[in-house]
Amino acid sequence: MDLSYSGEHESFRREVQNFLAENARAIPKHFGVNRPTAEAVAWQRLLIERGYVARGVPRRYGGAECPPDIMRAQILGEEFARARAPLGLVNQGISMFVPTLLEWGTEAQKQDWIARTIRGELIWCQGYSEPGAGSDLASLRTFAVEDGNDFIINGQKIWTTTAHAADMMFALVRTELEAKNRYRGITYICLSMQTPGIEVRPLRTMTGAAEFNEVFLTDVRVPKHQVIGARGDGWRVSNSTLKHERGMLGDPHAALARIRNLLGLMADETVDGVSAIELPVWRDRAMRLQGRALAMKYHAMRLLTAAHKGEDLVLPRLIVKLQATELNHQIAALAVDVMGEMGLLYNDAAHSRAGGLWQKRLMFDLGMIIGGGTAQIQRNIIAERGLGLPREPKMAKL
Amino acid sequence: MDFSLSENQLLLQEQVGKAVRCLVPMERLRRAGQEGDRFAADVWEGFCDLGIPGLLVPERYGGHGLGLLDAVVVAEELGRCATPCAFLGSVVAAPIALIEAGSPEQQATLLPEIALGTLRVGIAVSEPLAGARHDARIHVRNGLLTGRSLFAVDVAGAHRLLVADHAGGLFLVDTLARGLTMQYLETVDCTRQAFEIVFDEVPADPLPGAGPPVLERLGDTLRLALAADILGASGHMLREAVAYAGTRQQFGRPIGSFQAVKHLCADAAAELEPGRALLWYAAHAFDLALQDSHVCALHAKAYLSEAGRVVARNAVEVHGGIGITDELGLHYWFKRINWSAQLYGGPTALREQAWLAQASLEQSR
């Protein structure tokens, strides 16, 4: 156990601190909901130039091409969080599609898409889930039929984040109808959202925002060269993407920052002149969540060390998404509880606290527990891959 | 940065684990706590062969000079086997108290014997750490101790007692001293025991450096050792549950293939695992005397007490009816986890202490 950083890493930390201090004015105030604002794009360019984001992307595709260094990535995360500066653009194109493309794409595909994606010029949405294929993704029924040099796609996608603002979609479609194994015959394909036959309908969620969409695909013609990896191999290709998605869902710094905000709220929120933090009943709930957040913080450091050494702690890694999303939800739940009747108020209502932020989180974090594999699916994965319990027996074919 | 156990710590873990599994097979466990065996002399001899008593004793006094993180690694292995033997008093509390508050003479005369395992120390420190029940507490008058301590542990087979009074003073008392009466209290966990000790003007040897800060450090070591014991005992229960679920057949398939059973196991594992990292950090922070070490020690025991309860309950449930029988014996671990969770403060009480400690830390900044 040695929690100090090497001299090289300490000087990197100072470099990052200096950069953030010198460029404080360039930190974007507005980031853009679906498409990044001009200041966010400029910030992203600056960070790529410095080698702070797109670190693993080769220079010929517009990236920083830094050797993998988990400690540097960690230091960047810590220092940017401390300065309340966004560590670059966050979208599914950058976090999920680019790593997949780097692993599976052709040279032409990489040339065509990576640079524009990491600069924030090309916005992607993810076409995986379908009305009948959520947790059981392999049962998807959007079909692609061969026609000369193209595929013609018919079907429907759902829960498609930012589809209404996206330029492109990376999607899973079924190409081999007769494949015996449902995991085969699925193809990973990219399509322009401008292609005729695509209809996007926004799906309003419980927070009141339209974060998701339904996407209807009717005779959508896509050139075959836009397939990523081999035809019929989409399950394997997409699994590397899911790995990236599930890995990014636990951020202990965010949870600890929320605990600090929660304790601040509890100090300010008074009933008959007594603040919630003065009452042991409320205090214990807050301290319980703080203990959990601390445990997740050190758990992440343990995983970080393992990754640095090239070891994979399977069970500890698999539990992060389940525990972190649940923790966030409980933090929001306590905040709303503490507000009592004030917790009824939403958005800009008179007297509302932080514009209804905590209520929004309570609802949004419930979505996080469901998204990217529901909590139940996560538990199955933990039990089977983490603990080695037997899989559910295959049902007789219907 | 390296947040992991060192090669030496992994080796220690392996060696102690292997040895303790041999020392305490199931049939040995069944004899634990019976009258005449409360000290578990055979297991203590095994500890001495392994050098466990000298774990925290500095090298110049014949010990290994290791830190609390190393002791925590050993405690986890003891918990894994529900080992019926003294550990908290002689191996953990006495060296820490002597190192931090003992006079040079006390250190020079007592620590070498403690390291050899020939001097064994029980502890009566529960009241100032967890609050006094039944007004049990110790007063000092003219250097003599009067009062009562409940939940003294590792008393069987001990030559001395480490006693704390309510002002944070620490004293060593000879177990044969006049005015001292000890009464065995039956507890849920037969692998460890508690004693009620009555002091009637008992002569005592004070540790000159004692006071609230040392008592706080002593409390942290005891709580982290118990938290580690819970981690080990819970790890054992979880592994048993997973093994059973993988083989036990019902409705023509292993019960572990049913989602309901899988989720009991997955939830137990997901609760427990982050506690390991928190425990490691808290012990490491103790060794380096970092500012947040006390708050983290309180959180670590509170966290693992609750996680341990989830694991213990789920593991019994996965076993079904056989899980509650004496024949299977899973209850030894169930009881041990609950015992450890209660000694020196349960989760809610410890979190309140963590809040107060954190608030005073922030005020001092």
Record: contact B1-A305, CB cut-off 8 A: yes
User: Nearest residue of A to residue B263 by CA position?
Assistant: A379
For A92, counting Cβ atoms within 10 Å of its Cβ (0-12 exposed, 13-18 middle, 19+ buried), the class is buried
Residue-wise pLDDT for A320-364, tens only, equals 999 999 999 999 999 999 999 999 999 999 999 989 999 999 999
Record: contact A291-B303, CB cut-off 8 A: yes
Could you tell me which residues are beta bridge partners of residue A168? A124, A192
Beta carbons within 10 angstroms of residue B341's beta carbon: 24
User: Nearest residue of A to residue B9 by CA position?
Assistant: A1
Model confidence at A309, pLDDT cuts 50, 70, 90, reads: confident
* 8 A C-beta contact, residue A215 and residue A159: no
**What is the full DSSP assignment across A103-149?**
HH--HHHHHHHHHHHHTTSS-EEEE--BTTBSSSGGG---EEEEETT
Q: A326 to chain B nearest CA, in Å?
A: 11
Q: A213 to chain B nearest CA, in Å?
A: 31
ipTM: 0.95
- What CA–CA distance (Å, rounded) separates A189 from A171? 5
Residue A245 is a catalytic residue: yes
Residues of A in contact with B281 (CB under 8 A): 294, 298, 301
Residues of B in contact with A5 (CB under 8 A): 1
pLDDT of B279? 98
The yes-or-no verdict on residue B224 having pLDDT over 90 is: yes
The yes-or-no verdict on residue B251 having pLDDT over 90 is: yes
- Nearest CB to A322 within list B270, B296, B355: B270
Record: contact A380-B262, CB cut-off 8 A: yes
pLDDT of A395? 66
pLDDT of A398? 47
Could you tell me which residues are beta bridge partners of residue A200? A215
Catalytic residue among A79, A130, A211, A245: A245
Record: contact A299-B274, CB cut-off 8 A: yes
Record: contact B1-A71, CB cut-off 8 A: yes
Model confidence at A248, pLDDT cuts 50, 70, 90, reads: very low
Q: A322 to chain B nearest CA, in Å?
A: 8
User: Nearest residue of A to residue B295 by CA position?
Assistant: A291
Residue-wise pLDDT for A63-85, tens only, equals 989 887 878 888 898 899 888 89
Residue of B8, B99, B76 lying closest to B283 (CA atoms)? B76
Model confidence at A397, pLDDT cuts 50, 70, 90, reads: very low
Residue-wise pLDDT for B255-307, tens only, equals 999 999 999 999 999 999 999 999 999 999 999 999 999 999 999 999 999 99
Most trustworthy range by pLDDT among A25-39, A366-380, B301-315: B301-315
What is the average pLDDT across A216-232? 96
Residue-wise pLDDT for B169-213, tens only, equals 999 999 999 999 999 999 999 999 999 999 999 999 999 999 999
pLDDT of A373? 84
The mean of the pLDDT values for chain A is 91
Record: contact B269-A319, CB cut-off 8 A: yes
Question: What percent of chain B is modeled with pLDDT above 90?
Answer: 95
